Amino acid sequence: MLYAIIGRDVENSLPARKAARPAHLERLRRLQAEGRLVLAGPFPAVDAPDTSGGVTGSLLVLEFESLEAAKNWADADPYVAAGVYAEVSVQPFLKVLPE
C-alpha cells in the first residue's frame, strides 16, 4: 500500500535540513532500490526551482506493508531527529495516474 508522508518544517529549517539531508536521502535511496519510492521532494518557501529561499516541508509517497510501518519509518527520519519538522502526517494514498 502507498502512504503519503507530509512533513511541515519549523521556521528557518534550512540549516538543520542541510545537515540532516545526506542521512535523509540515504534512507530514501534504500527504498528506491527496493522499488518502494514513488516520489519525494521539498516544498520550496518561494516560487523557485530550488530551495535557496527556504523550505516549508516535504512530500513523500512510499510503499509500506501497513500504516503502522509507514508511521514508524516516518518517526525515525533524520529530519525528525534534527528538529526540521514541526509536524508529520502519514496517510494512505491511492495512485490513480499515471497508470
Q: How high is the mean pLDDT in each 10-residue block of the chain (99 residues)?
A: 98 95 98 98 94 94 98 98 98 95
Cis peptide, bond prior to residue 98, ω within 30 of zero: yes
11 vs 45: CA distance, rounded Å: 10
Predicted local confidence at residue 84, as pLDDT: 98
> What's the pLDDT score for residue 35?
98
The pLDDT assigned to 42 comes to 97
**For residues 64 and 30, what is the distance between their CA atoms, to the nearest angstrom?**
13
Query: What is the model's pLDDT at position 33?
Result: 98
Q: Which three cell numbers stand for residue 61?
A: 509517497
What amino acid is encoded at 96 in this protein? V
